[in-house]
Structure 1
Amino acid sequence: MKLFRILDPFTLTLISVVLLASLFPARGGFVPFFEGLTTAAIALLFFMHGAKLSREAIVAGGSHWRLHLWVMCSTFVIFPVLGVLFAWWAPVNVDPALYTGFLYLCILPATVQSAIAFTSMAGGNVAAAVCSASASSLLGIFLSPLLVGLVMNMHGAEGNLDQVGKIMLQLLLPFVLGHLSRPWTGAFVAKHKKWIGKTDQTSILLVVYSAFSEAVVNGIWNKVGVGSLLFIVVVSLVLLAIIIAINVFAARSFGFSKADEITIVFCGSKKSLANGIPMANILFPTSVIGMMVLPLMIFHQLQLMICSVLARRYQRQTQELQAQEKARAAKA
């Protein structure tokens, strides 16, 4: 029961969908139906994201450029370098698709909601977190497909620059159209944030079901055993520990405040499941998506659990610091 209290409701739903696809995979005429439904849901998802993000939010935060620059460096430079080195090293004999999955994970943009929520909980610079997380998500639409074409081709994985145009058409075009529609749709989107969140989650669940249905038909569970799952968990924990340590060290070395350090840690160590799974659905053959997104799905849950603990620790430190400042002020 403790495990179910740790896992968030969406993760439990995600696990349920994987089990559903494992027991009742889509076959025959249902395959094109789910593919079409998934494509429409993803287009709607990015349309809504475009309508939700204001012009001010896109251009805001320029005054804190050092913080944003480091978060972008952590997300799109340090993470991919670690992924390339790990895929090149390949220390354990597992399915090569898992190494490709970790490499793919490392080139994705950061999350938005959880990065901001953890920053707020820990007492960090929330305004900077909003700007950095939003900028990462927006830039990821451009940079992640390019990195797939460049970095993953270097590793010999499937993915090429021709597919960048495809992902721009299926993700960027709906995003731009959504943003341009803000004068007419902005108020509706702001009023129905919960509904937008459901659209976000539904599109992910559809992609996961379609991907795992194809993977089950192709025998994924004959390839992924307990040892492979343990491998994913251990590598995810090590990767997360390394990137958090690098961000803490950089924040303190560059003289950022405690609030900014918190923002850097939580915005620079996340990877987006919401962006990653739809992109994978476009960039890679359906037959390999199930295997490739396993590292992302497990890393996503672990980052929430670890960062939740870390946020509470930062929260206590922030409260202690505030109490000390009040005590000094009272003495003065």
Structure 2
Amino acid sequence: MSIALPQLKSIKIDKFILSLFSAIIIAFLFPTGAGMLHLKQVTEIGIGFIFFFYGLKLSFTEVAQGLKNYKLHVLIQLSTFVLFPLILLGLKSFLIGLIGETFWIGLFFLAALPSTVSSSVVMVSLAKGNVPSAIFNASISGLIGAFVTPLWIGIIVSQSGGMSLGDVFLKLIIQILLPLVIGLLLNKKLGHIAKKNSSKIALYDKTIIVLIVYASFCTSILAHMFDGISFLNFVFLFSAVFCLFWLVIGIIYFISLKLNLSLADRITATFCGTKKSLVHASAMVNIIFANNVSASLFLLPVMLYHITQIVILAIVANRIGKRTLNEAA
């Protein structure tokens, strides 16, 4: 009896993840670098261009292809913006006792974020799911998140007097919505150029994210925010992120079965409904938590979740895709 072993050589190390960890290490070694390089101003401008390119690439034709599958769309968007936050609210007392209030706010920030675009579509395609619906939901999620994410955070954090919701939405309009709308208006004329250079735009997005992570950690290190955090706190945080990921997957898949969705739609719901966007997190952390020395601590759960979803869903998508092909054959 032979046992099939996983092909480890097919699992590549994500250079972007390595870049994020490198930025954190450099921040600990050179915490004054962000101020010397004026990264706050650089990243504020960079965020605007991220959402300008996002609007520029958003194809209304592709989005319209998936409009009819309303059950799937409602499930994915409710999972992204309602199920996640409600789980965190329900577990608030337990999680604060386990990881502390600061990390819980970071987890709730994670829960309120929109889904990713490119990686959701790629993984749904790899798993032989409903690609047009994945494109629709991943695209529309970013638009919804521009309003819902800061609203969720504003409701929760402003209860303790930690932020002004009016100031947040003003910055949101200037740095995110305005560039996004300009990009959408120019989609017909310049959209093909953006798609042709999508790999370069993706590299630009990742570069800005790495700079934001570095700058955020520099601020927190200079403010000694990590002094009271033990290694055990990080272990508990990662455990909470890992359990949250699998809990949401289980709930979404159970609901999709009860809705009698097809296999392709169940795959799409599970993959799109569980993904969270590090791009949006990096952009919004500078707006929602502006001048907050704990910004990097709020961003840390998102980074851990990003690594978890990329690694696990890539393996799962590959296995489901191969099994689907074998069954079809």
* TM, length-normalised to structure 2: 0.91
Shift of residue 117, structure 1, vs aligned partner: 1.1
Structure 2 unaligned residues grouped into runs of 5+ = 1-7
1:312 and 1:186, CA in 2 relative to 1: closer, same or farther beyond 3 A?
A: closer
Compute the RMSD of aligned alpha carbons.
Answer: 2.0
| Alpha-carbon shift at residue 52 of structure 1 (Å) | 0.8
Q: What is the Cα deviation at residue 185 of structure 1?
A: 2.4
Partner letter of residue 262 of structure 2? S
| Residue among 248, 266, 282 paired with 1:277 | 282
How far apart, in 1, do the equivalents of 2:254 and 2:270 lie?
A: 10
Question: 1:306 aligns to what?
Answer: 312
Q: 1:326 matched to which residue of 2? A: none
2-structure distance, mates of 1:122, 1:93: 35
User: What pairs with 1:91-102 in structure 2 (closer than 5 Å)?
Assistant: 92-102=97-107
Report deviation, 1:158.
2.9
Equivalent residues of 2:117, 2:139 under 8 A apart = yes
Work out whether 1:85 is the aligned partner of 2:67.
no
1:320 and 2:311 correspond: no
Tell me the residue number matched to 1:327: none
Distance 2:221 2:208 in 1: 20
Report the alpha carbon displacement of residue 60 of structure 1 after superposing the two structures with TM.
Answer: 4.0
SS at match of 2:115: coil
Secondary structure (helix, strand or coil) at the match of 1:221 reads: coil
Determine the structure 2 residue equivalent to 1:104: 109
Q: State the Cα deviation string for residues 64-92 of structure 1 (Å, max 9, x = none).
A: 11100110010011001011122233353
What pairs with 1:7-26 in structure 2 (closer than 5 Å)? 7-26=13-32
Alignment counterpart, residue 165 of structure 1, candidates 165, 170, 182: 170
Distance in 2 (alpha carbons) for counterparts of 1:315 and 1:295: 29
Name the CA distance, whole Å, in 2 between partners of 1:181 and 1:43. 15
Displacement of 1:93: 4.5
- Map of 1:75 onto structure 2: 80
Q: 1:193 to 1:225 in 2, by over 3 A?
A: same
Specify the alignment match of 2:297 in structure 1.
291
Contact 1:74 1:268 in 2 (8 A): yes
1:193 aligns with 2:193: no
Any conservation in 2 of the 1:115–1:133 contact (CA below 8 Å)?
Answer: yes
Unaligned 5+ segments in structure 1 are 324-332
Q: Which of these residues, 55, 59, 66, is aligned with residue 60 of structure 2?
A: 55
Rounded Cα–Cα distance in structure 2 between residues aligned with 1:300 and 1:275: 12
Which residue identity does 1:222 align to in structure 2?
D
2:36 to 23, 30, 46: 30
Task: Determine the C-alpha separation between the residues in 2 that align with 1:316 and 1:28.
Answer: 45
Q: Structure 1-normalised TM-score? A: 0.90
Contact 2:242 2:308 in 1 (8 A): yes
Which amino acid counterpart does residue 137 of structure 2 have in structure 1?
S
Q: How many residues align?
A: 319
CA distance in 2, matches of 1:160, 1:318: 50
Identical counterparts, % of pairs: 31
Shift of 1:168: 2.2
1:247 & 1:103 partners in 2: Cα distance? 19
